[in-house]
Structure 1
Amino acid sequence: MQSVHGATMREQFGATVTELLDREPRTALVLADIGVAQFAGAARAHPDRVVNVGIREQLMIGVAGGLALTGLRPVVHTFAGFLIERPFEQLKLDLCHQGVGAVLVSAGGSYDRSDEGRTHMSPGDVALLDTLPGWHVHVPGHPAEADLLLRHAVAADDTLQYVRLSEHRNAEPRPVAPGRFLTVRQGSRTAGTVLAVGPMLDAVLEAVGTLDVTVLYAATVRPFDAAGLRAAVGERADVVLVEPCLAGTSERAAHRALAELPHRVLSLGVPVAEHRHYGSIPEHLAAYGLDAAGLRARIAEYLW
């Protein structure tokens, strides 16, 4: 893991992809004006493999599909709303229907750029991708994890990969493995289980304090590590999902994982209802009940 010390996730993305463009002749990058300055040097070095289509997000996905058909491994980047929601038909047809792979890398997440309004907020991106087959979805909680997951995604030839970057992050990286949940804290056999996704881990750990719970960490949510969840629940299959995206995004996957056990699942995340008073990341987390205080109250009420 060759992370850049002190970098944000987007800065780490720039460094990682620039290195891959230099090292891997199959790697290509497709942009829609967002992030162009970050890759100015890479564009000069590889003008045939760094493409900026302008503010044409549907075309961006179409170009990625075309590059994949020629044998290249395209990495596609812009804000989540412009990457998943606006060109959704092209994701369905130009990638999935054609049977080609690509690596989509978003920025902005659910609430990073809320000062720019609803256009830049996309809490439903992962849930929307769940309506299409074959997507692998990564939600790193730290820039070093983003580096590892990006390299994994680019190396996974001909697959559909989505890496969701955010300014919201945990203080320290964890030793994540793509597709596997990590046990961060082990409770007793009768403890409930809290699954923290990506940047929600630090708030979850602060929220549960000394409570008797098992805490799992997911930096990859698709495929969902059903075996990992089943192994964690012990004698009490009461699960709380805490996601930095739309509440309920992974609830169906959790129910499927526990289908043979009596179980309960509480899904915490960004609500469907809009919050029109846009503020900072901490203000949005508090409004959604996803800060440590809000999580502690909801987890304690549910498990006890």
Structure 2
Amino acid sequence: MDTMRDRFAPLVTRLLDEDPRVVAVLAEIGADGFAEARRRHPDRVVNVGIREQLLVGAAAGMALTGLRPVVHTFASFLVERPFEQVKLDLGHQDAGAVLVSAAASFDWPAGGYTHMAPGDVALLDTLDGWTVHVPGHPDEAETLLRHAVAAGDDKVYVRLSLQSNARGLPVDGERLRTVREGRAGVVVAVGPMLDAVLDATEGLDLTVLYAATVRPFDAAGLRRATESAGTDVVLVEPYLAGTSTAAANDALADVPHRVLGLGVGRAELRRYGRIDEHVRAHSLDARSLRERIGAFVGAVPAGV
């Protein structure tokens, strides 16, 4: 199966054909995939070189002229390194852009810690007005990227990953989707964590919700689910553990509830290894998730 990033350049090339406002802004990473787009639209494919602060600053300037920039590089170079520009050039100036990352939390372990960004969504949470999409399949990535480009002049972050569920689900860029219904608690699986969560909760009396869009957080959807499934909530996210616990707590602020946030731990793993080894090291594999979720909710079998 092709990856989310395999779909990215061909889709943006089509968007450049379809919409004269769209401009692709790159910092060397992924530039080879835009050779045809650059031939067809030489004035709307801009490679600033390895200058990530300029990457975001230039995109903000383009946005202020009425263009819709699609900005791409690794997550650590797109959110963390140029964070001041994300905060000021985009946020303070109220300039919209679509930031599309690659490498996610630990998708290229050989690149080392400089190429890992498990805190990207949490960092964007310190700013106002961002929509954050975390697709779990290449089909969803295409849908959500089209949503993002069409979203007027909004500030949108699309987090691409090599990790993927086996199949894509219909996503609307807004609401939580109910995948399984139960009565003993709610598990929210974000993006590529869905398959592991479904395996981990097989046979347990739990509702499983799926989120491919995490900001704005679908508070109403979570509340509806807890009305029949109870107010024990587990969040399983492919980035920093606990990133969305405040959003879940706010959604349930007027009712007694418990929230457990599972995700990537804060400790730096210096043996870089493979993606699957990082998944296990952070206890995000199905077996570990079953133990952690089961201990939290009491491991109630379905039908009991």
Shorter-chain TM-score tier = over 0.9
Give the secondary-structure state (helix, strand or coil) at the position aligned to 1:163.
strand
Runs (4+) off by over 6 Å? none
In 2, the alpha carbon distance for the partners of 1:278 and 1:138 equals 26
> Are 2:219 and 1:226 aligned?
yes
Aligned to 2:302: none
- Aligned residue among 69, 74, 94 for 1:74: 69
| Residue 194 (structure 1) aligned with residue 187 (structure 2) | yes
- After superposition, the CA RMSD in angstroms is 0.7
Structure 2 distance, partners of 1:157, 1:57, is 24
Cα deviation 1:156-203 (Å, max 9, x = unaligned): 011000000000000000111111000000113xx2000000000000
Asked if residue 178 in structure 1 is aligned to residue 178 in structure 2, the reply is no
Residue 234 of structure 1, CA deviation = 2.2
Distance in 2, matches of 1:159 and 1:197, equals: 22
Pairing 1:208–2:201 present = yes
**Aligned equivalents of 2:240, 2:267: Cα separation in 1:** 10
- Cα-to-partner distance string for 1:106-125 (whole Å, 9 max, x where unaligned): 00000101111000100000
Matching residue of 1:11: 6
Match in the other structure for 1:57: 52
Structure 1 residue aligned with 2:246: 252
2:197 counterpart letter in structure 1? V
Give SS of 2:237's match: strand
State the TM-score, normalizing by the size of structure 2. Answer: 0.97
Pairwise CA distance, 1:7: 2.2
Deviations 1:210-229 (A, max 9, x none): 10000000000000000000
Question: Residue in 2 aligned with 1:86?
Answer: 81
Hey, what's the Cα distance between the residues in 1 that align with 2:68 and 2:172?
22
Q: Distance in 1 between the 2:110 and 2:39 partners? A: 33
Bigger shift: 31-40 or 6-15?
6-15
Q: Which amino acid aligns with 1:180?
A: R
User: CA deviation digits over 1:199-252, x for unaligned, max 9?
Assistant: 000000000111000000000000000000000012520000000000010010
SS class of match (1:267): strand
Q: Alpha-carbon deviations, 1:51-83, whole Å to 9, x = none?
A: 000000000001100110110000000000000
Match 2:39 to one of 40, 44, 55: 44
Residue type of the alignment partner of 1:204 = V
The amino acid that maps onto 1:213 is L
- Percent identity for Structure 1 against Structure 2: 66
Tell me the equivalent position of 1:288: 282
Match in the other structure for 2:301:
none
Equivalent residue number for residue 234 of structure 2: 240
Unaligned runs of 5+ in 2: 299-304
1:122 counterpart residue number: 117
User: Structure 1, unaligned stretches of length 5 or more?
Assistant: 1-5
The alignment partner of 2:243 has SS state of: coil
> What is the CA-CA distance between 1:47 and the residue it aligns to?
1.0
Is 2:274 aligned against 1:302? no
Question: Are 2:160 and 1:165 aligned?
Answer: yes
Matching of residue 137 in structure 1 with residue 137 in structure 2: no
Aligned length: 297
Aligned to 1:32: 27
Looking at structure 1, the residues matched to 212 and 124 of structure 2 have their Cα atoms a distance apart, in angstroms, of: 17
